[in-house]
């Protein structure tokens, strides 16, 4: 892809935010800014994750057509708030948890492969790469820990308050895990995209550490270390093929 064409696409995309909210979600604004600060990447869409209750027409076969949002939050929520919103349902209401999603256009295929390695090793194992007819390379960061449950039909609530409490609790647990994966992704991303000079300094510091260490219980920090090691291996073997979902549209 010509560099001038990529720069043109980047400038056009970052000029306006056409999302329904009109701004980047707070929990991922630092990630979006960090990615867009690099010449080889720019973000095209993003969502930090959300819990939503939407009402659709009961006779509509297309889920996103003729539906209204009764409740939405990008944080954990309370059962009372969801129940109050559910009482407004006049169609088929569905409670959903949607995890973090991020679409990044990449300058070269190897740039997308590096980002894919970071995403997969951070827990976003449904991530993949697509190549469009015009040469646009998009890397999608996606996860599989979703939730989708129908809770009303033709305005009649189908579940008990107790079951709604359970659904909200599960949604909140998924949101907590989602935020942990986001931070793990950001830490690994910083390691992958740090300047080469800084990588050399960190490598020299690591080489000076003692070989023998006390065994300790694995924590989330260990998983971050493993992820960063995978990114390091990817950089050192950049000529090898990276396993990824590659679709030619």
Q: Is residue 201 part of a domain?
A: no
Q: 39-54, pLDDT tens digit by residue?
A: 999 999 999 999 999 9
Binned at pLDDT 50, 70 and 90, residue 19 comes out as low
**Residue 18 banded pLDDT, cuts 50, 70, 90:** low
**Residue 113 domain-assigned (yes or no):** yes
Q: Which candidate, 110, 117, 116, places its Cα nearest to that of 140? A: 116
Q: What is the Cα–Cα distance from 33 to 31, expressed in whole angstroms?
A: 5
pLDDT higher than threshold 70 for residue 197 = no
pLDDT surpassing 60 at residue 223 = no
Mean pLDDT of 56-73: 71
> Is residue 240 over pLDDT 70?
no
Position 209 pLDDT exceeds 80: no
Q: Is residue 209 included in any domain, yes or no?
A: no
Domain of residue 129, CATH code:
3.30.1960.10
In a domain, 240, yes or no: no
| pLDDT given for residue 241 in this prediction | 44
> Edge-to-edge strand order for the sheet containing 101-106?
41-47, 101-106, 137-141, 128-131, 246-248
Provide the pLDDT for residue 232.
54
pLDDT of residue 230: 60
Pick from 118, 124, 112: which is nearest to 228 by CA? 118
User: What is the model's pLDDT at position 74?
Assistant: 95
Report which of 166, 177, 154, 174 is spatially closest to residue 83, judged by C-alpha positions.
166
pTM of the model: 0.76
Q: Tell me the pLDDT of the chain averaged across its residues.
A: 81
Higher pLDDT, 54 or 197: 54
Q: What percentage of residues in the chain have a pLDDT greater than 90?
A: 59
Residue-number span of the structural domain to which 89 is assigned: 23-194
Question: How far is residue 45's CA from residue 22's CA, in Å, rounded to a whole number?
Answer: 11
Higher pLDDT, 63 or 226: 226
| Of 101, 100, 48, 96, residue with least CA distance to 70 | 96
**Structure confidence at residue 244 as a pLDDT band (50, 70, 90):** very low
Q: What confidence score (pLDDT) does residue 29 get?
A: 94
How would you write 200-228 as a 3-class SS string? HHHHHHHHCCCCCCCCCCCCHHHHHHHHH
- The answer, yes or no, to whether residue 150 has pLDDT greater than 60, is yes
How many domains are there within the chain? 1
Reported as a pLDDT band with limits 50, 70 and 90, residue 11 is confident
Task: Tell me: pLDDT of 107 over 70.
Answer: yes
In a domain? residue 189: yes
């Amino acid at each position: 892809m010509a560099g001038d064409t990529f720069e043109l696409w980047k400038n056009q995309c970052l000029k306006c935010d056409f999302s329904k909210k009109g701004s980047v979600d707070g929990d991922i604004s630092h990630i979006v800014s960090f990615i867009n600060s690099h010449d080889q990447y720019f973000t095209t869409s993003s969502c930090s994750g959300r819990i939503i209750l939407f009402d659709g027409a009961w006779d509509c076969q297309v889920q996103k057509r003729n539906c209204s949002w009764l409740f939405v939050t990008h944080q954990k929520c309370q059962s009372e708030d969801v129940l109050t919103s559910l009482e407004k349902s006049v169609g088929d209401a569905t409670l959903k948890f949607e995890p973090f999603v991020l679409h990044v256009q990449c300058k070269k295929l190897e740039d997308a492969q590096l980002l894919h390695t970071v995403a997969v090793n951070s827990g976003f194992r449904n991530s993949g790469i697509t190549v469009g007819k015009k040469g646009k390379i998009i890397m999608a960061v996606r996860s599989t820990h979703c939730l989708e449950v129908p809770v009303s039909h033709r305005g009649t609530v189908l579940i008990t308050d107790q079951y709604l409490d359970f659904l909200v609790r599960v949604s909140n647990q998924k949101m907590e895990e989602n935020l942990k994966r986001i931070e793990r992704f950001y830490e690994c991303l910083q390691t992958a995209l740090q300047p080469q000079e800084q990588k050399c300094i960190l490598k020299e510091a690591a080489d000076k550490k003692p070989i023998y260490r006390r065994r300790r219980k694995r924590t989330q920090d260990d998983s971050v270390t493993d992820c960063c090691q995978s990114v390091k291996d990817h950089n050192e073997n950049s000529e090898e093929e990276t396993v990824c979902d590659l679709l030619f549209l």
